[in-house]
Structure 1
Amino acid sequence: MGRVEAPCALIVMGVSGSGKSTVAGALGQRLGWRFEDGDSFHPASNVEKMRAGHPLTDEDRWPWLNAIADEIERVCKGGGHIIIACSALKHTYRDVLLRGRSDVRFVFLRGTKELIAERLAQRKGHFMPPGLLKSQFDTLEPPETGEHVITVSIDETVEAIVDGIVRQLKLGGAIPKVLP
């Protein structure tokens, strides 16, 4: 069996509270790839809107998604590798993030509303209030097979989740490192 080419970018996706940042950070450490939290690409107006308890509209999301897609493009063109935590809840959002690239993969963190609500209730200091979880699930369009997705259950330890992702990437021992 031939070696599978590593994607230049992984987008760890799911609803708020699914563990995107935690899993993406741990995956970045395991692979030696740069990690970025997609939340850092939000304009201040989006953060304030969510902090006030208002869900974002598609119009709010386009500049944010395009900023993330620009960073993926920059890293991939430079021969690097990046992992980004980003909700990417709709098919159209994922299309914007991909920009037609075939060297980007999604990692979908799947979990129940109950488990995620429990995690959100324990989280302190995050701008996304637990009350917006329903809107996240209402918006979620789970990725389909044709979207080159790796789906993992969040009902495991972070280490087990990362192990499952790495196994599904099928990179074998040849895991590329991020360029300096």
Structure 2
Amino acid sequence: MILIAMGVSGAGKTRIGELLAERLHCDFTDGDAFHSEANKEKMHHGIPLTDEDRWPWLRTIRAAIEKEQRAGVAAVFTCSSLKRSYRDILRDGDKDVCFVYLKGSREVLEERLQTRTGHFFDPSLLQSQLDTLEEPGEDEAITVSIELTPEQIVDEVLRQVEGR
């Protein structure tokens, strides 16, 4: 099983991904690690990424997913996965990939981004991410509110994964 914690910046993908991996005793990989330096530089300067910027990044994450699957292990990844077409690349028809959509209000996301330190993402890009976001339906992802505590989110994700 491959879980991908998704959502806009500030949703808590890294924290939830780490906790899920800890609970599942599996590897955790932050999708941001696969961004090119050019992508990171654009985001740091408040320039939204284009689809052309994202395609190589998404294919690299998909390759990492396939590597974990060849090893026969479960893994947790993070990736904003804002559009269905992005999720299609990451899923590639693979029923073993499950998205976890961390959904939150603009107000909560803005508050989190204002207090976050040490990240290359310029908080002014939140609106462009919200504009780009195509929220996944029930057929595509487990949806969990970020208003819950991290532990409650993980509990809810694992409960829903078991029910699938």
With normalisation by structure 1, the TM-score equals 0.89
Which residue number corresponds to residue 174 of structure 1?
Answer: none
Aligned counterpart for 2:20 among listed residues 15, 27, 35: 27
Which residue number corresponds to residue 144 of structure 2?
Answer: 152
* Whole-Å separation in 1 of the counterparts to 2:137 and 2:150: 24
- Cα displacement (A) at 1:77: 2.0
The aligned amino acid for 2:153 is I
Task: Please say if 1:12 is aligned against 2:5.
Answer: yes
Task: Please say if 1:169 is aligned against 2:161.
Answer: yes
Identity %: 52
- Cα displacement (A) at 1:146: 2.2
* Whole-Å separation in 2 of the counterparts to 1:150 and 1:157: 17
Task: Please say if 1:114 is aligned against 2:136.
Answer: no
Aligned-residue Cα RMSD (Å) equals 0.9
Aligned counterpart for 1:70 among listed residues 63, 69, 77: 63
* Whole-Å separation in 2 of the counterparts to 1:167 and 1:99: 25
- Cα displacement (A) at 1:51: 0.6
* Whole-Å separation in 2 of the counterparts to 1:26 and 1:146: 24
Which residue number corresponds to residue 87 of structure 1?
Answer: 80
- Cα displacement (A) at 1:122: 0.4
- Cα displacement (A) at 1:145: 2.1
Would you say how many aligned residue pairs link Structure 1 and Structure 2?
Answer: 163
| Aligned-partner SS, 2:14 | helix
Which residue number corresponds to residue 3 of structure 1?
Answer: none
Alpha-carbon deviations, 1:131-165, whole Å to 9, x = none? 00000100000001222x11100001111110111
The aligned amino acid for 1:104 is V
* Whole-Å separation in 1 of the counterparts to 2:62 and 2:152: 28
Which residue number corresponds to residue 58 of structure 1?
Answer: 51
The aligned amino acid for 1:143 is P
Aligned counterpart for 1:100 among listed residues 90, 93, 99: 93
* Whole-Å separation in 2 of the counterparts to 1:12 and 1:40: 14
Aligned counterpart for 1:133 among listed residues 126, 145, 161: 126
Alpha-carbon deviations, 1:4-24, whole Å to 9, x = none? xxxx21000000000000000
| Aligned-partner SS, 2:100 | strand
**Structure 1 gaps, min length 5:** 1-7, 172-180
With normalisation by structure 2, the TM-score equals 0.97
* Whole-Å separation in 1 of the counterparts to 2:88 and 2:157: 22
- Cα displacement (A) at 1:57: 0.2
Alpha-carbon deviations, 1:16-71, whole Å to 9, x = none? 00000000001110111100000001111100111111000000000000000001
